[in-house]
Amino acid sequence: MWRILKRIPAQHPLAFGLGISTVKTSACDLLVQVAIERKKEIDWKRNVFFGLFGFTYLGGFQYALYVPIFGRIFPKAAEFAAKPIKEKVKDGEGLKALFGQLFLDQFVVSPFIYFPAFYAFGEACCAEKPDFSRAMDAYKENMKEDLMACWKIWVPSMLLNFSLMPLWGRM
């Protein structure tokens, strides 16, 4: 049974990424609402927002970015990820591609696409009267704190992701 199940992500990476990203993002919000915020009632509208954001951005957009787009921009990325560590440290082109992916993801995509999308999506889903300029103002106000928190977690995580995972498994 395990052999069959572990083939699903490789055979259907987009569907797998969409499903995992949706469930994971929704479950994380439920955990925060119950365990951290200690809400007496679940905010289902907010939870649906997180699920939809997980599906569209984390599952859909990031799949498109990490698999076909990064695969074209960095054609040796898959080959580099498959190498043993001993060979990776000697592969100058592969290391350039690794750090290029990390730079684009964390210092271009995160500040200029991810966070604006997150704030805009939240405004669209959760505000009574969505105002996207208000969403961008909120992002500008929180930008430094958001990016520092993002980079503390995602720079090392994506360094591992881009150096070890096959393209299809990056979700």
Tracing tokens 């939240």 back to the chain, one arrives at 122
Domain ranges in the chain?
A: 56-169
Tracing tokens 């966070």 back to the chain, one arrives at 115
Question: Would you say 81 and 167 are in contact if contact means Cβ atoms under 8 Å apart?
Answer: yes
**Which spans in the chain are helix H?**
2-11, 13-31, 44-53, 62-64, 70-73, 77-82, 85-88, 92-104, 115-126, 132-164
Tracing tokens 């271009």 back to the chain, one arrives at 108
What angle in degrees, to the nearest 10, is found between the helix axes of 92-104 and 132-164?
A: 160
Mean pLDDT across the chain: 94
- What is the rounded distance in angstroms from the CA atom of residue 65 to the CA atom of residue 17? 12
pLDDT at 66: 93
- Nearest 5°: the CA angle 143, 145, 147 is 65
pLDDT digits (tens, 9 = 90+) for 68-99: 999 999 999 999 999 999 999 999 999 999 99
pLDDT band at 170 (very low <50, low <70, confident <90, very high): confident
Q: What is the mean pLDDT of residues 151-158?
A: 97
pLDDT at 171 exceeding the cut of 80: no
With a CB cutoff of 8 Å and minimum separation 6, the contacts of 113 are 61
Report helix, strand or coil for 86.
helix
pLDDT at 154 exceeding the cut of 90: yes
pLDDT at 10: 84
- What is the rounded distance in angstroms from the CA atom of residue 16 to the CA atom of residue 19? 5
pLDDT digits (tens, 9 = 90+) for 89-134: 999 999 999 999 999 999 999 999 999 999 999 898 888 899 999 9
With a CB cutoff of 8 Å and minimum separation 6, the contacts of 155 are 102, 106
pLDDT at 9: 86
Closest alpha carbon to 9 in 58, 50, 18 = 18
